[in-house]
Amino acid sequence: MSIFNKYPYIVVEGPIGSGKTTLARMLAEKFPVDYLSEKAEANPFLPRFYQDAQRYALPTQLFFLFQRANQIKDLSQRDMFAKPIVADFFLEKDALFARLNLDDEEYALYHNIYTHLQLKAPKPDLVIYLQTPIDALAERIEERNVHYEQNMPREYLERLSDAYSEFFHHYDATPVLIVNNAKLNIAKNPEALDLLLNRIMQIKSQREFFNPNFE
């Protein structure tokens, strides 16, 4: 029995640098599942956002919103016999970025568009939230060496991390595994993936925590 027999639709979430895309991709490679990716590199406004957040926050946010709307539409139309799914984005937390980056007028416009789209994403069977210390986020962002991310202010990472923590502190719509990601570097140590898979199979309640001491 695999984790996808237990949880056919899994979402991996966490701030930039947490390794959510790496984990989702590794799960898609290990198991016969479909992979829904945020595809951040397809957003033409994202590099400009990191250079001038105030100017480009709204087009960056709206591009992601419409991109996700199309993916969610495809997901909603799948039949019950389709392959399991792993995704590295979570529509419900889209407003987290909007509230963090947009001013009041821009947020009102974003909210109106979001409401007009009437997006109703299927609920995941499990959310894996990679809770990662700021120093680890900064180190991993530097290591992956995406040029437009390299001058990201630490203050922005702190605000983003706090927003994620606040969101998942209150989220209870589906089971959540909150993973202390400080020492679980799956990208560098494949054995860490097996450790995480074993922990997922042991989940018994709506909200659980995983604090591995593993390098």
Confidence of residue 125 (pLDDT cuts 50, 70, 90): very high
pLDDT score, position 210: 94
Lowest mean pLDDT among 4-13, 59-68, 75-84, 147-156: 75-84
Q: What's the total number of domains in the chain? A: 1
pLDDT score, position 80: 53
Parallel/antiparallel/unpaired status of strands 126-131 and 9-13: parallel
Pairwise CA distance, residues 4 & 170, whole Å = 25
Residue in the block written with tokens 């991390």:
161
Length of the chain as a residue count:
215
Structure tokens at 125: 């069977």
| 186, HSE (Cβ side, Cα atoms, 13 Å) | 21
Lowest mean pLDDT among 7-21, 152-166, 201-215: 201-215
pLDDT score, position 214: 57
Structure tokens at 47: 């590099």
pLDDT score, position 79: 63
In a domain, 215, yes or no: no
Confidence of residue 208 (pLDDT cuts 50, 70, 90): very high
In a domain, 96, yes or no: yes
The pLDDT of residue 162 is above 70:
yes
* Residue 100 CB burial class (10 angstroms; 0-12, 13-18, ≥19): middle
The pLDDT of residue 144 is above 90:
no
Domain of 165, CATH number, reads: 3.40.50.300
In a domain, 41, yes or no: yes
- Which H/E stretch holds residue 13? strand 9-13
Helix axes 154-170 and 94-101, enclosed angle (nearest 10) = 140
Full-model pTM: 0.91
In a domain, 37, yes or no: yes
The pLDDT of residue 67 is above 70:
yes
In a domain, 59, yes or no: yes
Mean pLDDT of the chain: 89
In a domain, 89, yes or no: yes
Q: For 77-89, how does the pLDDT look when each residue is reduced to its tens digit (9 = 90+)?
A: 666 557 899 999 8
Pairwise CA distance, residues 58 & 61, whole Å = 5
In a domain, 135, yes or no: yes
The pLDDT of residue 96 is above 70:
yes
Pairwise CA distance, residues 158 & 178, whole Å = 18
Structure tokens at 74: 């495809």
Q: Which domain holds residue 24?
A: 3-210
The pLDDT of residue 11 is above 70:
yes
Structure tokens at 158: 């702190």
